[in-house]
Amino acid sequence: MNFAGIDFTKILSGEQLARVLVAALILIVGSFLARRSRSAVERFTQLDPQQRILLTKISYYGLLFASFAAALGQMGFDIRVLLGAAGVLTVAVGFAAQTSASNLISGLFLMLERPFGVGDVIQVGEITGEVMSIDLLSSKIRTFNNLMVRIPNETLVKTNITNHSYFPVRRFDFNLVVALNSDLRVVERVLRDEARRHQYCLEDPAPLFINRGFTDSGINIQFQVFTLTKNLLQIQNDLYRDIKLAFDRANIQIPFQTRLLLNAETVAEHTIPRRHERGFHPDN
């Protein structure tokens, strides 16, 4: 074997050369098996996306590490010494990076508890978006304006999380105000008719009509409809438009608040009493 003018057959004995070739063969076969196992795990339809991602990484890097360790052992390295050194290094790194260790443990908790999964829409504080991945140290979320947000797993464990995709059925509340002279029976009938016409409104659970009370300008009502989570945005856009058109046809008025705008002089005139009103007379 000659490379760059160096004859490696003179440097390595026959037994050493054989060990090197076997170690190289182990690495090649191990790398091939790691790629094949990754492809096989990705084709498992019984697993959810997060489980596939986790098992893919474990199988791929596990086989690579096993083949690398076997190759080192074939070349005469003592694996136990390397594992001992790795253990000492792990402990040292753990003390030096306690935050990473906390995120790692939190990531395991998230994978076991599974409060959300890949593809779910969640809200963490002021951040709302779709979960892209749940890794060991952090989770990645894509917001609705197409930004990637990385959140440490420790933060997710300690923070309240709202999962908008957890249940298959969601309820949407239409908060409306109608005029004081409106017939609530007619209002309810119109709303139920519009919900019945819409293809995404569920009949079970049935829509709810709730009178929320009276105000100075009208009657507050709440109309609750149920739909599949994936259709929530569509039904929100459609029903507001359809309800407005139906109210116009039924002559149901939606009142608007009126405000009296006063200039500074008018405000002063109405709020500051005149001098004679306070018992002041010019002749005194």
Share above pLDDT 70 across residues of the chain, in percent, rounded to a whole number = 71
Task: Please name the residues in contact with 50: beta carbons below 8 A apart, sequence gap of 6 or more.
Answer: 111, 114, 117, 118, 133, 134
Decide if pLDDT at 15 tops 70: no
User: Where in the chain does DSSP place strands (E)?
Assistant: 2-3, 6-7, 121-124, 127-134, 138-143, 148-152, 161-163, 169-178, 208-214, 219-228
Instruction: State how beta strands 127-134 and 121-124 pair.
Output: antiparallel
DSSP 199: T
pLDDT at 104: 74
pLDDT at 280: 47
Tokens of 164: 């908008």
Decide if pLDDT at 17 tops 80: no
- At 82-109, the pLDDT tens digits run 555 555 555 555 554 566 677 778 877 8
**Token pair 């979960």 is at which residue?**
131
Q: Tell me how far apart the alpha carbons of residues 125 and 145 are, in angstroms, rounded to a whole number.
A: 17
Residue among 170, 219, 226 at smallest CA distance from 195 = 226
**Backbone dihedral angles phi then psi of residue 138, each to the nearest 5 degrees:** -155, 170
Q: Work out the pLDDT band at 170, boundaries 50, 70, 90.
A: very high
Domains and CATH numbers, the chain: 9-96 (1.10.287.1260), 114-163 (2.30.30.60), 167-284 (3.30.70.100)
Is the omega angle on the peptide bond into residue 205 within 30 degrees of 0, that is, cis? Answer: yes
pLDDT at 85: 53
- At 39-81, the pLDDT tens digits run 777 676 666 666 666 677 777 777 777 777 777 777 776 666 5
pLDDT at 266: 45
Q: Which residue has the higher pLDDT, 217 or 10?
A: 217
Q: Tell me how far apart the alpha carbons of residues 124 and 116 are, in angstroms, rounded to a whole number.
A: 12
Tokens of 245: 């058109």
pLDDT at 78: 63
Task: Please name the residues in contact with 28: beta carbons below 8 A apart, sequence gap of 6 or more.
Answer: none
Tokens of 20: 């090197």
Tokens of 63: 């086989």
